Amino acid sequence: MKIVLCCSDGMSTSILVKKMQDAAAKRGENFDISAMPVSTLETNAQDADVILLGPQVRYMLKDIQKEFPNKPVEVIAPQDYGMARGDKVLDFALKLAGK
């Protein structure tokens, strides 16, 4: 499963990606989790199973959902994002993917 996190420039989500990878490893799972700037989604997220937005780009949610109508696209809860709760964000992504 491929999970893409995006924010303004991909920097703030990279910490959360590492925490999510650690949470997946503890569960014995190996997911493709990456961070990228929202400006690169069109080219780099075509094969994503789930797209998660950082709270700072939540205003783009409707546009990104229209761009990717067959993929779950949602905003990460601000408290989980701010505290880098990788396990909670991973659970959220799995729920969105129906896993």
Q: Which residues are catalytically annotated?
A: 7
- Measure Cα distances from 77 to 44, 82, 90 in Å: 23, 9, 12
Q: Read off the DSSP letter of residue 97.
A: T
Cβ contact 50:21 at 8 Å: no
Phi, psi angle pair for 50, to nearest 5°: -140, 140
